[in-house]
Amino acid sequence: MSEQENLAMIRAWVEATNRNDVDAELACWQPDGEFTVVPTGAVYGGMAQIGLAGGRSASMVTGQPAGGRKQITHLEAGEQWACVSYDTHATIRGPVVLGDVTVIPEGSERTVVTKAHVVFEMRQGKISRGIEYLDPSAMAHQLGIVHSLLERLYSSPGSEARPSSPSPTTAKPVDVVAMFFRAWNTKNLDGLEAVLAPRVSGRNPLHPGEVTLTREAVRRAIEANMAAFPDLHMKIQNIFCDDGVVAVEEIETGTLAATKATYRMAVCCFLRVNAADQITDIHNYWDTDTYFQQLNITRDDLPEILGQTAGADYAS
């Protein structure tokens, strides 16, 4: 990609951060991207952990300048790299708790003003790797905490802090599944594919039995569904996890583009997440009569509506 395109992508990433727009942040990354905060040793690998880190940062910030908390002071790029320097201004309000340790008490505020520099590797117009340098001592002092707590604060959304190279911990299965739903609702196909295992077991009332699909086939099927129902949205009502299996109760709404008919129905989903933060099973259950009656279609209409034959993308 050109220098100007890489510059524009880094500006987009900073602006998304300043808007606290995690989905827009993720859209700037390659699915296998990695972000490292050098002074704390925190490493966020893949869309799930990068998204969790971005969401955690956004949730902690309660005040920032009108132009956003990251004020760019220097930006340059080449065809395969980019770097940005910025001043960070943010207000964080308690409580901020890590396990049994209160980092910032309830009712207290801390204002952080610090400088940071990030070097990026770029691939096909998106960020594949980011390495951030900042002054942890100044930040810890402004937050009123010791350096070890700052390391925990940075590592809690993603990997454990690693001064050398231990293996990182995984994200919570509930967070991985929540990211899957958020990526679907925002049509972020790269983010959606990033949390899928290479092969996924699928089950839903529209197809008989259980099938196994490749990661790419799941993406194609979801992309066809998005085209058929451009405004499809899934609102999670309840979500909980037991031994890596995440149960979701959600309300699904959508408009069939071909006829403008709409539907609204309750759906129950069970998704299994493995130790690599990848979804291996997606089993969905709903009342097909409600679905077909509201859309005024039959089961035989589905292949044409979705632009493919039933089962065309199923892997053996």
Query: Do the first three CATH levels of 3-169 and 174-306 match, i.e. the same topology?
Result: yes
Lowest mean pLDDT among 170-184, 239-253, 268-282: 170-184
| pLDDT grade for 42, boundaries at 50, 70 and 90 | confident
Assign domain 174-306 one CATH number from 3.40.50.300, 3.10.450.50, 1.20.1260.10, 3.30.479.30: 3.10.450.50
Residues of the chain above pLDDT 90, percent? 45
Indicate the SS3 state at residue 68: coil
DSSP-derived letter for residue 69 is S
Task: Return the pLDDT at 182.
Answer: 86
Task: Return the pLDDT at 100.
Answer: 57
Lowest mean pLDDT among 259-263, 276-280, 284-288: 276-280
pLDDT at 311 over 60: no
Question: Most confidently modeled of 48-57, 153-162, 174-183, 286-295?
Answer: 286-295
pLDDT at 97 over 80: no
| DSSP per-residue letters across 265-306 | EEEEEEEEE-TTS-EEEEEEE--HHHHHHHHT--GGGHHHHH
Residue, of 152 and 192, whose pLDDT is higher: 192
Residues of the chain above pLDDT 70, percent? 88
Task: Return the pLDDT at 106.
Answer: 79
pLDDT at 159 over 80: no
Element (H, E) at 190: helix 189-194
pLDDT at 162 over 60: no
CATH code of the region 3-169: 3.10.450.50
Query: What is the domain partition of the chain in residue ranges?
Result: 3-169, 174-306
CB neighbours of 114 closer than 8 A, spacing ≥ 6? 87, 88, 134, 135, 138, 139, 142
Gap between the Cα atoms of 89 and 103, Å rounded? 19
If you average pLDDT over residues 265-286, what whole number do you get?
Answer: 92
Residue, of 314 and 89, whose pLDDT is higher: 89
pLDDT at 216 over 70: yes
Task: Return the pLDDT at 268.
Answer: 96
DSSP-derived letter for residue 171 is P
Lowest mean pLDDT among 151-155, 205-209, 296-300: 151-155
Task: Return the pLDDT at 308.
Answer: 46
pLDDT at 310 over 60: no
pLDDT digits (tens, 9 = 90+) for 58-93: 878 888 888 889 999 999 999 999 999 999 999 988
Task: Return the pLDDT at 262.
Answer: 96
